[in-house]
Amino acid sequence: MTDAPIADRRSTLRTHHGDTFDDPYEWLREKDSPEVIAHLEAENAHTDAELAHLAELRETLFQEIKGRVQETDLSVPTRRGAWWYYSRTEEGAQYGIHCRTAAVADDWTPPVLEPGVAVPGEVVLLDGNIEADGHDFFSLGAFDTSDDGALLLWSTDFEGDELYTVRVRDLRTGETLPDEIPDTGSAFFTPDGTGILYTTRDDAWRPDTLWLHRVGTPMSSDVQLFHEADEKFWLGAGITRSRRYLVIALGSSVTSEEHLVDLTGDLTATPMVVWPRREGVEYSLDHAIVDGEDRLLILHNDEALDFELVSVAASDPQGERRVVLPHEPGRRLLGMDAFRDFATIEYRREGLERVGLLDYTTDAVDDIAFDEPLYSAGVSGNPEWHSPFLRVGYTSFVTPGTVYELDLASRELVLRKQVAVLGGYDPQDYGQRRAWATASDGTQVPISLVWKRSFGEPGTQPRPVHLYGYGSYEHSIDPGFSVARLSELDRGVVFAVAHVRGGGEMGRQWYEDGKLLQKRNTFTDFVACGRHLVDGGVTTPELLVAEGGSAGGLLMGAVANLAPELFAGILAAVPFVDALTTILDPSLPLTVIEWDEWGDPLHGADVYEYMKSYSPYENIRDGVAYPRILAVTSLNDTRVLYVEPAKWVAALRVAGASDVLLKCEMVAGHGGVSGRYNSWKERAFELAWLLDTVGLAGD
């Protein structure tokens, strides 16, 4: 054991609603302070020293992950206009290469591309490895081609702060044009390719303004098309698949407002509001042509908790609403995409995603059927208004990512590609099922389990369990395949997901029951899931490791305080563990937007008191035997600042936690390191710690 860094205690008083909190580690917020950087580097050095004995295991895990991945590979080409677009990877290269090849006019069957075989007529649009050269971090943001295929725009971030610089290339000549737009969010071409629409952010990192840049003109002449002044609302924009409307989407966590600009007219005209914002009403839309009439299909929750779908005239969106799919409790409508002859509907029932086709004439929905009991499916990669095929992505805990195309004439699913898993992977060697835990208030909470069958059915004898959770923003942790996870499953670990309240797995009410002044349900649900696995003989506290990231990191901090005796270890990635301090400060990135999720403790004494009762940093218990803890963060993260886990770790140590480590990436953002090999090494680092915690480091 090496001596852990002990941060200085420096009094910083925070007083709200008559309550004063003395924060001894708030000084660590000074990101540019050499003293703070030195402390973070000392934490990294301590972590490296403490985990040096796992170096060989980390390398083994990295090689296992790498060895299962077909490093030279290609995506299924997607047709847009006269071209097939695809990306490919090459062995030894960190980043993808974006390409295209010409399409035959009436051929909608994607060409079959073989890894390592030259593609006839290939045009390399962008090589991420060239873009990243000379940079420690690289993230590709926007990537778009003009409708005629003549121009490319792309944006890059080299810091991890999610501020991107847009550039433009003439694909006819290969020339990179002088146009350069820094500090952007999203960006895309106007349909005629003469303009670029892009968003910028305010000082709190909130996307708030939409701009129009004319290609070939100076940025100083860019036109502001829309500005959202309300600091609780973010702004997004896009163009309907029909290419008829520009949609400007404004939203908080609980309220929406969308505006339209008819692209057959003046792009700079005043946008038309579809439905004026009303607190608590969310909606999204797409453009369809039904019986020759321009209609808007609108998915909304106005007096419809799990949402309903209506149709309105595009010329009069606030006029008569025709109900297409009525509200049906237990069927949570998630999304809708309009095509020329039909729309797709994505919804959730009984905790699973489902996809159906909506007939414009009858309003009937024809579901796409899949065989596995646990799976994820969604519509993706369908840019064209009309095509004889509909592309669908599919995966499960045991089925690698799969691309199907639904033949719209025969309604047959055609397999286009399944991600190759090298080394003799057989999905029949692994099992998956769902269990149910009883929460403290009697609610039944689903748990997904996946395991290797050769170790026996979970529950026949206690085994190491890796329990993952999130539980915020109505975000669902759906079944999905992971190559890296095989390294733990093959060593006898059972992977489990606790689908706790605050997520969206069981419908909108599931989310409502795990937010604001009911947030504690998220934490107690997770504890109930852990205890269910222990009581059912699946595992023991000595073999149970929990993991969560971002808002799931808040969950990790909370359960460490609530039930430290239940876990052998807790892995917290970019954890939101100083929640109250952050949500009290509207000057911090995205704080005001977050008030709809957590409440407003700055102006509400009841919210302040409630958040203070669970915020992990402020509820650390002196003298308690905490489990092993590994906190992973990034210096340039703008969503959950590095200071939160830094303060948390410092306070845990002083309270007597005997094995708590902090790993801070000094050049990265919220998503961690960039580059696939770097990401695999990062995951190998975390898995080695996890396996060591449950006594499998030698296996």
Same domain, 541 and 648: yes
The pLDDT of residue 588 is 84
pLDDT for res 637: 75
Tens digits of residue pLDDT in 287-303: 999 999 999 999 999 99
688 and 593, same structural domain?
yes
Are residues 409 and 557 located together in one domain of the fold?
A: no
- Are 465 and 436 found together in one domain? yes
Whether residue 679 sits in one domain with residue 533: yes
> Which pLDDT score is estimated for 571?
98
**Is 453 in the same domain as 376?**
no
| Residues 407 and 442 both lie in one domain | no
Task: Tell me which amino acid residue 324 is.
Answer: V
541: in domain: yes
Give the DSSP letter of residue 90: -
> What is the mean pLDDT of each successive set of 10 residues along the chain, which is 699 residues long?
91 97 97 96 97 98 97 96 97 96 94 94 97 94 97 95 95 96 97 96 93 97 97 96 98 96 96 97 98 97 98 97 97 97 96 95 95 94 96 98 97 96 97 97 98 97 98 97 98 98 97 98 98 98 97 98 98 97 90 93 98 98 96 87 96 96 84 85 97 92
Question: What is the pLDDT, as a whole number, of residue 669?
Answer: 67
CA of 348: how far to CAs of 288, 404, 447, 504, in Å? Answer: 23, 20, 16, 9
Q: Please answer whether residues 184 and 200 qualify as being in contact, where contact means their C-beta atoms are separated by less than 8 angstroms.
A: yes
Q: Let me know if residue 397 belongs to a domain.
A: yes
Same domain membership, residue 684 and residue 634: yes
pLDDT of 189 reads 98
- Tallying the residues shown for the chain, one arrives at 699
pTM of the model: 0.94
Q: What gap in Å lies between CA 433 and CA 263, rounded to an integer? A: 49
Residue 500 in any domain: the answer is yes
Judge whether 537 and 508 are in contact, CB under 8 Å: no
Residue 603: inside a domain, yes or no? Answer: yes
- Amino acid 504: pLDDT: 96
Is 577 within the bounds of a domain? yes
Residue 52, exposed/middle/buried by CB under 10 A (0-12, 13-18, 19+)?
exposed
Domain of 499, CATH number, reads 3.40.50.1820
Q: Do residue 514 and residue 390 come from a single domain?
A: no
- CA dist 524 and 233 (Å) reads 31
Helices (H), 102-212: 128-132
Q: Kindly report the backbone phi and psi dihedral angles of residue 483, in degrees, each rounded to the nearest multiple of 5, phi listed first.
A: -65, -45
Angle made by CA atoms 182, 183, 185, in degrees to the nearest 5: 115
Q: Are residues 468 and 550 in the same domain?
A: yes
376, 395, 420 — which closes off a domain?
Answer: 420
List, in sequence order, every residue forming a beta bridge with 370; answer none if it has no partner: none
Which DSSP string do the residues of 561-601 spell out, in sequence order? HH-GGG-SEEEEES----HHHHHT-TTSTTHHHHHHHH--T
Sign of CA dihedral 28, 32, 33, 35: positive
Is the same domain home to 382 and 518? no
**How far apart, in whole angstroms, are the C-alpha atoms of residue 526 and residue 548?**
11
Check if the beta carbon of residue 317 is closer than 8 Å to that of residue 262: no
Total domain count, the chain? 2
Q: Give the pLDDT of residue 50.
A: 97
Look up the domain containing 404 and give its range. 368-420
What single DSSP character describes residue 454? G
Of 360, 392, 420, at which residue does a domain stop?
420
Residue listed under structure tokens 């990192």: 205
- Domain identity same for 408 and 554: no
Domain boundary among 420, 439, 462: 420
513 assigned to some structural domain: yes
* Interior angle at CA 589, CA 585 and CA 593, nearest 5: 80
Active site residues: 550, 637, 670
36 part of a folded domain: no
- Phi, psi torsion values for 196, nearest 5 degrees: -120, 125
Strand duo 83-89 + 352-359: pairing: unpaired
Within-domain flag for 171: no
What's the Cα-to-Cα distance from 572 to each of 62, 323, 554, 559, rounded to whole Å?
20, 44, 8, 11
Please give the helix or strand (H or E) that residue 484 lies within, else none.
helix 483-489
